[in-house]
Amino acid sequence: LAKTTQPISMDSYEGQEVNITCSHNNIATNDYITWYQQFPSQGPRFIIQGYKTKVTNEVASLFIPADRKSSTLSLPRVSLSDTAVYYCLVGDRVNNNDMRFGAGTRLTVKP
């Protein structure tokens, strides 16, 4: 299971774009990269998933370079309500038997 490394915390201001990078040097060929968001006392919520290049949905974008050893979650024009913990997970769709969360990145958006 590829280990992931993220910054412990980040601060931003309303209206800014926020980029959170996740390092996964040991990512395997079949691994996908998935990001979750968690608000206090709530369960994590799926944000986005990708395999390579760029994925965009109504909430965020995910950038994955060609070597796939890292990925960047991009949140456009954050608001106070985006204050949460963001988790990066890496795993494949065939062999993974578990789903382990790392420490995540605590994003604080200030007015």
Partner 1 sequence: EAQVTQNPRYLITVTGKKLTVTCSQNMNHEYMSWYRQDPGLGLRQIYYSMNVEVTDKGDVPEGYKVSRKEKRNFPLILESPSPNQTSLYFCASSLKPAAYEAFFGQGTRLTVV
Instruction: Quote the least distance from Cβ 104 to partner 1, whole Å.
Output: 7
Task: Say whether 102 sits in a helix, a strand or coil.
Answer: coil
Nearer to partner 1, 3 or 77 (CB): 3
| Interface with partner 1, residue 43, by CB under 8 A | yes
6 interacts with partner 1 by CB under 8 A: no
- 98 is a site residue for partner 1 (CB under 8 A): yes
From the CB of 34, what's the least distance to partner 1, in Å?
A: 7
Measure the CA–CA gap between 85 and 67, rounded to whole angstroms: 26
DSSP designation for 14:
T
- Shortest spacing between CB 62 and partner 1, in angstroms: 13
Q: What is the DSSP string of 26-89?
A: T--TTEEEEEEEE-TTS--EEEEEESSEEEE-SS-EEEE-TT-SEEEEEESS--GGG-EEEEEE
31 binds partner 1 (CB under 8 A): yes
Residues lying near partner 1 in the complex (CB under 8 A): 31-32, 34, 36, 41-46, 49, 87, 89-93, 96-104
